[in-house]
Amino acid sequence: MTDNPSNAGAATSTGYQPAPWCGISRNALLILLVVFIAGASLRLFGLPHYKRGGYDEVLYSTYVTTLDAYGLLNYPAMVRVYIEDQKTSPTTKLPPTRFLYIFMAYGWDRLFHDSELESLHAISCLFSILVLPLAAVFAYRLGGERMAVGTLVLVTVSPMQIYVSRHALIDGFFAFWALLSLWLLWENLQKPRSAAWLACYTASLALMVITKENAFFVFIAIAGILAVNRWTKFGIVNLPLTLCTLGGGALGVAILSILSGGLDTCIETYLVLMKNASHFPYAIKTGDGPWYRYLYDMMLMGPIVLMLAIGAAFRVTREKKDHLFLLAFIAFSYLVMCNVKYGMNLRYTSMWDMPMRYLAFWQLCAICDSFKTRRTLALILCMAVLCGWELRQYYIVFVENNLYELITAALTHALKIVK
């Protein structure tokens, strides 16, 4: 770690120059706006029409109902009921400690008087739309306007992102907070000791922690990035950044502890969840596999993007800080996620959508650069084909085969690999 005052404000000493905030051209802004509108429309009005509630969705909706009935002050009681229920129940239920999603849906419910399930769905949809500008801004800061446009286009048509917007599921919502935290980490690495960035980063981490247990994977990935910064030189890691990283996580845990009625109750909630999940027949049946299971699942869902991203991963050099940063995030989180026994699900990878698409777009640009004078045309054509392909995948998997759970068995069945 580096905490040298002489380094303060010297982000360029790492050899990286983030794109300036006001440097984006009007044309690029216009394209971004059009793509954003297209993406938002896909998420708001795309097929399939939202109809029913799945297993998880019904549970979330029950929590929202309970919160609505008893109020926020009785949240500890809700957690206790959950623990008692889980101690005797043979099935695993998602915990009420996924507070932020439940609370936001509750807020939406109070504000717009929608049903619980509709409120949850609205929140999911809203945050999967919010991922779009976030992805564009992050990509812009990493690689400039071309990368912002390309990444936004690819995130817009990402089957996974559209899917999480069409259901009352937490994964798109969580992906937003994970991506926000990652971006803010990047900004803090570039602008050390900026109070505003540090505050945002801390708040984002805290909100991520109170969203879902998967925050642990992101936290490990962030810790990994900070640890390897000594060699990779993404930016400057100083004491405030380290403290804010720990503080953000701690703040989230503190909020959860208060909501649970104490730290011990909070820990017990997760222990009960982990214990039950390891015996839950559905998890055993669908969440197992070797370390490359996520790669296989991603290959089924978006083979071209995956291949391009793998290609980009092998072209990473120490000079390409942006690539290395995103790759480190994916690699560290992958390392933890693929080691969770009976705990693998493609839905959890929605937080990699933007990083993977950034890498994929860069790889595509590198390929099209070989066309020299016609590279822009080649890039546009390639992107059009890729987007068409991604939307077709979405259609096959989620519309034609009406998939709800992204387990490998269902995916291979939808693609007719396994009949």
List of residues contacting other proteins (CB under 8 A): 284-286, 288-293, 295-296, 299-300, 303, 307-308, 310-315, 363, 366-367, 370, 408-409, 412, 415-419
CA 351 to CA 131: how far, in whole Å? 10
Cis-peptide, bond into residue 18, ω within 30° of zero:
no
Q: How far is the CB of 345 from other proteins (least distance, A)?
A: 12
CA 305 to CA 184: how far, in whole Å? 25
Residues 6+ apart with CB under 8 A from 144: 19, 23
Residue with tokens 């990699």: 352
Q: How far is the CB of 154 from other proteins (least distance, A)?
A: 17
Cis-peptide, bond into residue 48, ω within 30° of zero:
yes
With residue 296 as reference, give the H or E element that holds it: helix 293-301
Closest by CA position to 311, among listed 300, 323, 296, 301: 323
Q: How far is the CB of 350 from other proteins (least distance, A)?
A: 19
Q: How far is the CB of 414 from other proteins (least distance, A)?
A: 10
Residue 345 or 350 having the CB closest to other proteins: 345
Residue 255 or 277 having the CB closest to other proteins: 277
CA 140 to CA 122: how far, in whole Å? 28
Closest by CA position to 160, among listed 29, 364, 345, 23: 345
Residue 103 or 294 having the CB closest to other proteins: 294
Residue 239 or 366 having the CB closest to other proteins: 366
Residue 58 or 295 having the CB closest to other proteins: 295
Q: How far is the CB of 306 from other proteins (least distance, A)?
A: 9
Structure tokens at 266: 């909070």
Structure tokens at 77: 């009681």
What is the number of residues in the chain?
A: 419
Residue 36 or 296 having the CB closest to other proteins: 296
Q: How far is the CB of 416 from other proteins (least distance, A)?
A: 5
